[in-house]
Chains A and B, each alone.
Chain A
Amino acid sequence: MVPSMRRPLESRRHSNGEALQNSGSALRVQGLRKAYSDVVAIDGLDLQVEAGECFGLLGPNGAGKTTTIEICEGLLAPDAGSVEVLGRRWETDAKELRELLGIQLQDTQLSEKLTVDETLTLFQSFYRNAREIDEVIDEVELGEKRSSRVGTLSGGQKQRLAVACALVGNPRLIFLDEPTTGLDPQSRRQLWDLIARFQSEGRTIVLTTHYMEEAERLCDRVAIVDHGHVIALGSPRELSDSIDVSNLPPPEPRKTTATLEDVFVALTGRHLRDE
């Protein structure tokens, strides 16, 4: 059921344009600025994410990715610039936007004393229309852990629960901030499948990652952000093609063979390790 990872963007834009109300763009950011007391985190950033797209924000630490995402999530107010999410603005439609967005933050620790089930039931209770807990738990493959306390979960399981909390409100757009950081290859692949399935339902994903391979695999388009603004934008293929190959160091031998991760997954299998 997992669709091909990379379909031509044009056809996608065309097919999903109407799936969202009002606007073909899921996210439109213009002239965004945000300064903290000592640093300018975002300096004139523009972005446009189409409905149904999986969009990646790449960039080194401190480039402004998380700040950008948090402004788009309505958790931070920008100093300047405009943000339009699903055709709505935070200043006027915050309540409605909260219903439509799913969010996974980089460093949230969910309450350790609650079980998986209880945590999801809590998050479910906030939404006007929400998905069944059972279904979401199945989707993130936490069925065996549903009555375990969050404190006893592994890092990968906690991350999957965080994603489940983002999905339970039946969002049209999800923001995932480094969803696969610190995960083993099995958990990471499982999350990739999940993201692909989510996208195949016509929904939009905005994610940040430090893994270029992940971005290449999942994202229709990526923006590379540094020093608070976008320095490159396009599909992973377009960006690869834009580099002058003559300046690159000689190709490494593994480019033509399997990567070490391919070996790892081939040897250890794709099934999740939850022990």
Chain B
Amino acid sequence: MNDSTPDVAEREETGMMSPGSQRRALETTKTLSKRERGFKRSSMVQLTLVRFREFVREPEAVFWTFIFPILLAAGLGIAFRQRGPDKVQVGVVTAANSAAVIQSLKKDSTLVVESFDDSAAAKALRTGRIALLVVPTARPDSVRYVYDKGRSDAANARVIVDRAVQMGAGRVDPVRSADTFVTEPGSRYIDFLIPGLLGMNLMGSSIWGLGFAIVTARSKKLLKRLMATPMSRAQYLASFLASRLVFLILEIVTLVGFGHWAFGVPLRGSLTTLLLICLLAAVSFGGLGLLSASRARTTEAVSGIMNFIMLPMWIFSGVFFSSANFPHAVQPFIRMLPLTAVNDALRLNMLEGASLAAVMPQLIVIVVWGVVTFFAALKLFRWR
């Protein structure tokens, strides 16, 4: 047995006054090495967890990242939905033969038929409640239509009503026709909108997520405090990207999932390519976020910088309406904006099913922006 053991215990018990035991205390303070602490308590995991916690514990941030885009998509999707061919409202004046006419008209599902007496019929026509008025005559083989021929829906109603009346009376068409109806998701406004909103969201959460958090830490002198530890600066920055990537998946799933489930927005391209576009976009916008945050000392200053960067892209990069609306001369510049590239790539992938090779020009724009902004940011960055 080691006979020095009781000696040490005794010395520690008697206090730390003797020179030997003082040294001992410093050396025997129980510490854990990085390996003993394990993966979960490694600095990369802890820094990333901090990012998560700071985000999740900020209800406003969660709202603006996840709830707001969905509300926006739902609102705009409903406002600009396509209702299909409108029903045609027609009236029939009550008369001896009107029952037969009404029966014929009701066979056509695009017609909504109401019967009126003379004066009510005139009023309904005048106020536009009905597009056309059918006036049966005393003879069963004769009918009169009253309508305003300047109204396109009235002229349309004339065609539909007449066809129904003739067929009801036994007309047989010489040519048998059949209809095949198609609906084409991909051409509606909501289909245009969802990729745009996704692009905007990727930009917003990357730029805000990095810019705001870093400047907040700087203004609270927390950045300086962290610099006084052995923390790796690269890991600190990487933790923002790591947490962004996790939230990125959630953002894609909520927004694209919502559009797909609620409005049938198509996902024609490969999901892997979609994910790759989003990933590159998030990292690239992270560079812009870092650049915005590289010098600013106050959150007010960085908010101004970030809005200055993002506002032009909200307008020019085709989020809510196509960037083709802008004059031809500025199109080359618009195409060089990172958000334009992201939105174009997302639409090509989701709506047109474009392959990875087909979105390569956009991906190059995205990557170049990322590389340039990251290097500029690291060059300018102030850790204090």
Residues of A within 8 A of B (CB): 1, 3, 14-16, 18-19, 52, 73-75, 95, 98-99, 101, 103, 105, 107-111, 113-114, 118, 121-132, 135, 149, 165, 169-170, 172, 200-203
Q: How far is the CB of A226 from chain B (nearest CB, A)?
A: 25
Query: Across the interface, do B225 and A105 meet the contact criterion of CB distance under 8 Å?
Result: yes
Residues of A within 8 Å of B222, CB to CB, are: 108-111
Taking the nearest CB of chain B, how far is it from the CB of A227, in angstroms? 24
B280 to chain A, nearest CB (A): 29
Instruction: Return chain B residues, CB-CB under 8 Å to A109.
Output: 220-222
Q: Which residues from B are CB-within-8-Å of A127?
A: 229-230
The minimal Cβ–Cβ distance linking B317 to chain A, given in whole angstroms, is: 32
In whole angstroms, what is the CA distance A52 to B23 when docked? 10
Residue of A126, A131, A200 near B22 (CB, 8 A) is: A200
Is B230 a contact partner of A124 (Cβ separation < 8 A)? Answer: no
| Contact yes or no, A122 B221, CB < 8 A | no
Which B residues lie at the A interface, using CB under 8 A?
15-17, 19, 22-23, 25-26, 29-34, 37, 41-43, 45-47, 49-50, 53-54, 57-58, 217, 220-222, 224-225, 227-231, 384
- Supposing A15-B22, A113-B54 touch, asked if A107 and B32 sit within 8 A by C-beta, the answer is no
CB <8 Å contact, A108 and B220:
yes
Q: Distance (Å) between the CB of A76 and the closest chain B CB?
A: 8
Pick the contact of B34: A95, A103, A122, A128 (CB < 8 A). Answer: A128
Q: How far is the CA of A258 from the CA of B34 in the complex (A)?
A: 50
Contact across chains for B26 and A123 when beta carbons are under 8 A apart: no
Q: A16, A113, A123, A131: which contacts B229 (Cβ < 8 A)?
A: A123
Bound Cα distance A169, B231 (Å):
11
Which residue of the partner chain, among A3, A108, A124, contacts B224 with CB atoms under 8 Å? A108
| Cβ-defined partner of A122 (8 Å) among B33, B37, B46 | B46
* Complex CA distance for A149 and B50, rounded to whole angstroms: 13
Query: A98-B230, A130-B32 known; A203 and B26 CB under 8 Å?
Result: yes
- Supply 21 A–B pairs (Cβ within 8 Å), ascending by A: A16-B23, A75-B228, A105-B225, A105-B228, A109-B222, A125-B43, A125-B47, A126-B43, A126-B229, A126-B230, A126-B231, A131-B30, A132-B30, A132-B32, A135-B30, A149-B57, A170-B29, A170-B31, A200-B16, A201-B25, A202-B22
Contact A75 B22 (CB under 8 A): no
Given A75-B228, A201-B22, 4 more contacts at CB 8 Å? Answer: A1-B15, A101-B228, A118-B50, A125-B41
Separation in Å of the B103 CB from the closest CB of chain A?
A: 71
* A203 to B25 alpha-carbon distance, docked (Å): 10
In the complex, the answer to whether A107 meets B221 with C-beta atoms within 8 Å is yes
Once the chains bind, are A121 and B46 in contact (CB under 8 Å)?
yes
Q: Residues of A contacting B42 with CB < 8 Å?
A: 125
- Cβ-defined contact, B384 with A75, below 8 A: yes
**Chain B contacts for A123, CB-based, 8 A:** 229
Distance of A52 Cα from B16 Cα, bound (Å): 13
User: Closest CB of chain A to B63's CB: distance in Å?
Assistant: 16
Which of chain B's residues have a CB closer than 8 A to the CB of A95? 230
Check if A125 sits within 8 Å of B384, measured CB to CB.
no
Q: Which of B26, B33, B37, B41 contacts A172 (CB 8 A)?
A: B26
Chain B nearest CB from A26 CB (Å) reads 12
Which chain B residue lies CB-closest to A107? B221
- State the CA gap A165–B228 with chains docked (Å): 11
Residues from chain B with Cβ under 8 Å of A101 in the complex: 228
Q: B19, B33, B46, B58: which has the most chain A beta carbons within 10 Å?
A: B19
Which of A16, A125, A169, A170 interacts with B46 by CB under 8 Å? Answer: A125
Nearest first, the 9 A-B pairs at minimum CB distance are A15-B19, A109-B220, A98-B230, A125-B43, A125-B46, A129-B31, A201-B25, A108-B225, A126-B229
A26 to B384: give the CA distance in the assembly, Å.
26
Q: How far is the CA of A169 from the CA of B32 in the complex (A)?
A: 10
B20 to chain A, nearest CB (A): 9
Closest chain A residue, CB of each to CB of B219: A109
Q: B43 — which chain A residues lie within 8 A by C-beta? A: 122, 125-126
Checking A18, A103, A128, A203 against B33 with a beta-carbon cut-off of 8 angstroms, the contacting residue is A128
Task: Report yes or no: A16 in contact with B15, Cβ–Cβ below 8 A.
Answer: no
A108 to B218 alpha-carbon distance, docked (Å) = 10
A158 to chain B, nearest CB (A): 12
Whether A200 contacts B47 in the complex (CB less than 8 A), given A109-B222, A111-B54, A132-B30, comes out as no
Q: Would you call B54 and A129 a contact (CB within 8 A)? A: no
A54 → B minimal CB distance (Å): 14
Q: Which residue of A lies closest to B230 (CB)?
A: A98
In angstroms, Cα B34 to Cα A200, docked, is 27
Shortest distance between the CB of A163 and any CB in chain B (Å)? 12
Q: Give A228 Cβ to nearest chain B Cβ, in Å.
A: 20
With A105-B228, A131-B30, A170-B29 known to touch, is A201 a contact of B16 (CB < 8 Å)?
yes
